[in-house]
Amino acid sequence: MALLPILRYPDPRLHTRATQVVEVNDEIRKLVNDMAETMYEAPGIGLAATQVDVHKRVVVIDVSEDKSGLLALINPEIIARSGEQVCEEGCLSVPGIYDKVARAEQVRVRALNPKGETIEFDADGLLAVCVQHELDHLDGKVFVEYLSQLKQTRIKGKLAKKARITA
């Protein structure tokens, strides 16, 4: 397994729409393993392939306290949504920035697992937020784009300043 570099907002590659995985093979399984290792090391609770500059529809999520609930979703799609919740979100591609975003309270998800089998599950609460957040990445959208233009400009400035300081 290997740690993968995470793209930082406003990198334009974060706006690339991911393509469907045609075949779940060893290459995809290695990507899933590397993404999981990267997510845990960051540390985070979700990571989309887009964030590591691989533009395939693959995400990993683990909202458990003890890192025992890894979900690897290949070609995930939300097939039903209901309710609304507003939660504070953060993102490994937008380090140190948190803000409130409105999302569906419950979602039904269909995806392939690393064995290539179709799975379906219902998610609510934090898992529902995380699924929606990561699927946005696959569609080229970063959570800060739900915020006002003023907040987006401030975030870009803050991140640019932080990049200059650490460079």
Residue 131's domain is classified under what CATH number? 3.90.45.10
* pLDDT in the model for residue 165: 82
Q: What is the per-residue burial (b if ≥16 Cβ within 10 Å, else e) of 74-96?
A: bbbebeeeeeeeebebebbbbee
Q: Check: CB of residue 127 under 8 Å from CB of residue 104.
A: no
Q: Count the domains in the chain.
A: 1
Separation CA 85–CA 102 (nearest Å): 6
Within a domain: 162: yes
Active-site residue identified among 77, 117, 134, 145: 134
- Is 120 catalytic? The answer is no
pLDDT of residue 167: 66
Domain-embedded: residue 107: yes
pTM: 0.95
Is the residue at 1 inside a domain? no
Note whether residue 2 is domain-resident. Answer: no
Q: Is 132 exposed, middle or buried (0-12, 13-18, 19+ CB in 10 A)?
A: buried
Residue 133 marked in a binding site: yes
Retrieve residue 130's tokens: 């995380």
Residue 91 among known ligand-binding residues? yes
β-pairing, 94-103 vs 85-91, is: antiparallel
Instruction: Give the domain extent around 45.
Output: 12-166
Q: Considering the domain boundaries, does residue 6 fall inside one?
A: no
Is 137 within any annotated ligand binding site? Answer: yes
Q: Answer whether residue 153 is part of any domain.
A: yes
For residue 24, is it within any domain? yes
pLDDT, averaged per 10 consecutive residues of the chain (167 residues), comes to 93 97 98 98 98 98 96 98 97 96 98 98 97 98 96 91 79
